[in-house]
Structure 1
Amino acid sequence: MRPPPVRVLRLGRAAYLDSLAAQGRCVRRHREASASEAPHRLLLWEPSGPVFTVGLRGLDARRASAEEERRLRALGAGFERVPRGGLATFHGPGQLVAYPVLDLRRFGLPVRGYVAALESVAVAACRRLGLPQAAALPPPCTGVWLRGRKVCAIGIHCGRHITSHGLALNCCTDLTWFDHIVPCGLEGKEVTSLSRELQRHVSVEEATEPFLAAFQEVFKCTLMEGSPTEN
């Protein structure tokens, strides 16, 4: 079965909640369409401001207290509880965030295989940018790593075979924000960025095309440019 084409929606710099709303509209359209006509989309964006998010595991196992939320908001960041896998992470300017909205049945992927595919995309993107040491590690170290430092976080949701949320690749992110949390619940693990590892500025724009080429290669699909107004 040949995977369907995927439309790329470039949201540019966007507020976190606006991007979530755009994703939600894409998911609803997908569920309302027939399986053969469902529009597969890949939302790409860069957070316009700092925000901490807590996923489902964080809500169940380490419920963020009101005090913790106040502490993080006092730093000048937003704080959101979201229905994705994983624990606490940070989103902010300098990150390439990718939210694929796909019907996994059309791609022949189980959920774990889908997460592995996202890891492969980020690994390939890093290697295209000159970081051959990029690698995925065994659980619980989901994401992509460079010499033991995490450069890409992954947290997804899948309901009725339709995916949402996705990954965040640190391009030129201010890494000091991660000092205020235990990223993804992994004690003692360091966070890094493409800029830090390459010792030069790597913008979200520079990382986008290698990322898209890797996505097309891993998912064996055709990417088509869409309009942000489609969501």
Structure 2
Amino acid sequence: MSGAAVRVLRLGLRPYGEAVRAQQRCAAAARAGAAEALVLSEPAAPVYAWGLRGAPEAAAAARLRARGAALAAARRGGLLTFHGPGQLLALPVLDLRRRRLPLRAYVAALEAAALGLCRRLGLAAARALPPPYTGVWLGDCKLCAIGVHCAQHITSHGLALNCCTDLAWFEHIVPCGLEGRGVTSLSRALGRHVPVDAVLEPFLDAFREVFGCALVFAEEPPAAGGDCEIKTV
């Protein structure tokens, strides 16, 4: 894969929509020839988000709002899932044409980066499943969800990895539309509290290894606009 530098934007605790909009500014800049980017964030508040395959029905949406969560539509693959505090959002902006990566191979590379983090933390049992499943799993429980979008060869959205997420939020939905499957977190799997800040460096090491890139750090995303791919409803 390409050895070109990837610009890393560490947003910290931010609203989900703000992180996605920061990624969209990076994507618009990349389509105009700027460097690739990786946006890292922890959602500041609970949000249920769905991809191109469909929104929850009105009654279900009302029940989720009543629990204190926001709802958001995002232009990515995948069904309804949860984003919230204690979760690492990793949103890469990569040029798949330059990297000569088909979309499915890109998804596999994201899985490999999350698995690399798990190995660094001692979770040897973490695994990826064959298509059509995506993400990273521990037994029958999903640890890391993946949903991506690609326009003009530039990626957006990415992965959401549960570090110390309150997993009770997932009980009110069928995460990613997968009946009979559970959800877990690094904290539950390791039997200790694992905050998002504690996994940033090992995740970046794994990302660098998988994508064969140098990483440089930035304070803010580009100011350029671009089509926003999230709508709060």
- TM surpasses 0.5: yes
Distance in structure 1 (CA, Å) of the matches to 2:52 and 2:3:
29
Note if 1:164 corresponds to 2:164: no
By how many angstroms is 1:185 displaced? 0.6
Which residue of structure 2 aligns with residue 143 of structure 1? 135
Distance in structure 2 (CA, Å) of the matches to 1:229 and 1:3:
21
By how many angstroms is 1:107 displaced? 1.6
Which residue of structure 2 aligns with residue 181 of structure 1? 173
TM-score, reference length from structure 2: 0.92
By how many angstroms is 1:66 displaced? 2.0
As a proportion of its length, which structure holds more helix? 1
Structure 2: give runs of 5+ residues left out of the alignment: 224-233
Q: Is the 8 A contact 2:134 2:145 kept in 1?
A: yes
Q: Is the 8 A contact 2:5 2:216 kept in 1?
A: yes
Equivalences, count: 223
Distance in structure 2 (CA, Å) of the matches to 1:179 and 1:74:
14
By how many angstroms is 1:70 displaced? 1.2
Counterpart mapping for 1:35-114 below 5 A: 38-57=34-53, 59=54, 63-114=55-106
Q: Is the 8 A contact 1:195 1:202 kept in 2?
A: yes
Q: Is the 8 A contact 1:4 1:106 kept in 2?
A: no
Distance in structure 1 (CA, Å) of the matches to 2:105 and 2:177:
22
| One-letter amino acid of the structure 2 residue matched with residue 22 of structure 1 | A
Distance in structure 2 (CA, Å) of the matches to 1:220 and 1:20:
24
100-109 vs 211-220, which deviates more? Answer: 100-109
Which residue of structure 1 aligns with residue 14 of structure 2? 14
By how many angstroms is 1:64 displaced? 2.0
By how many angstroms is 1:130 displaced? 1.1
Corresponding residue SS for 1:178: helix
Q: Which has the higher contact order (CA 8 A, sep 6+)?
A: 2
By how many angstroms is 1:88 displaced? 0.7
Corresponding residue SS for 2:125: coil
By how many angstroms is 1:148 displaced? 2.1
1:85-108 Cα offsets, whole Å, 9 max, x none, are: 011100000001000011111222
Distance in structure 2 (CA, Å) of the matches to 1:107 and 1:27:
16
| One-letter amino acid of the structure 1 residue matched with residue 89 of structure 2 | V
1:99-119 Cα offsets, whole Å, 9 max, x none, are: 001111122211000000000
Which residue of structure 2 aligns with residue 26 of structure 1? 26
Distance in structure 1 (CA, Å) of the matches to 2:92 and 2:111:
13
Question: What is the percentage of aligned positions where both structures have the same residue?
Answer: 60
Distance in structure 1 (CA, Å) of the matches to 2:74 and 2:158:
12
Please, what is the CA RMSD of the aligned residues?
Answer: 1.2
By how many angstroms is 1:19 displaced? 1.2
Corresponding residue SS for 2:119: helix
Corresponding residue SS for 2:101: coil
Corresponding residue SS for 1:141: coil
Moved over 6 A (4+): none
By how many angstroms is 1:230 displaced? 4.1
| One-letter amino acid of the structure 1 residue matched with residue 174 of structure 2 | V
Distance in structure 2 (CA, Å) of the matches to 1:180 and 1:140:
24
Q: Is the 8 A contact 1:3 1:107 kept in 2?
A: no
| One-letter amino acid of the structure 1 residue matched with residue 40 of structure 2 | L
